[in-house]
Amino acid sequence: QVTLKESGPVLVKPTETLTLTCTVSGFSLSNARMGVSWIRQPPGKALEWLAHIFSNDEKSYSTSLKSRLTISKDTSKSQVVLTMTNMDPVDTATYYCARQQNYYGSGSYHQNFDYWGQGTLVTVSS
């Protein structure tokens, strides 16, 4: 059974650094097909893709937030960590992690975001 679970602070102050952890089970972060993305959703607003880490440790970031984000993983702990610096009240959102599979199947390459965590609400306020 594949699960992802986000954890981290509920409340952070402006200018502080946010650190979120995604703990996964049911698959290995070292599997060549597997990657994990972080996505956020401000209250009442749309989803926003933030960052991704591939099995080979290659990373990618949202162009608008790249300077503030760092994604990393600890395969032995089955965890993916996202840090976001210089938090602001506009960063108040539910933060999700999601598994992504990259593979060739039926003669085609596929990108498949399949399983998501339940999300964790982070509020930025002094």
Partner 1 sequence: QTVVTQEPSLTVSPGGTVTLTCASSTGAVTSGYYPNWFQQKPGQAPRALIYSTSNKHSWTPARFSGSLLGGKAALTLSGVQPEDEAEYYCLLYYGGAYWVFGGGTKLTVL
Q: Give the residues lining the site for partner 1 (CB under 8 A).
A: 37, 39, 46-49, 52, 58, 60-64, 96, 98, 108-119
Tell me the closest approach of the beta carbon of residue 110 to partner 1, in angstroms.
Answer: 4
- Between residues 46 and 76, which has the closer beta carbon with respect to partner 1? 46
Tell me the closest approach of the beta carbon of residue 125 to partner 1, in angstroms.
Answer: 22
Tell me the closest approach of the beta carbon of residue 105 to partner 1, in angstroms.
Answer: 9
Per-residue b/e over 5-30, b at no fewer than 16 CB within 10 Å? ebebeeebeeeeebebbbbbeebebe
Handedness of CA 48, 112, 10, 78 (dihedral sign): negative
- Between residues 16 and 48, which has the closer beta carbon with respect to partner 1? 48
Nearest to 2 by CA among 114, 86, 88: 114
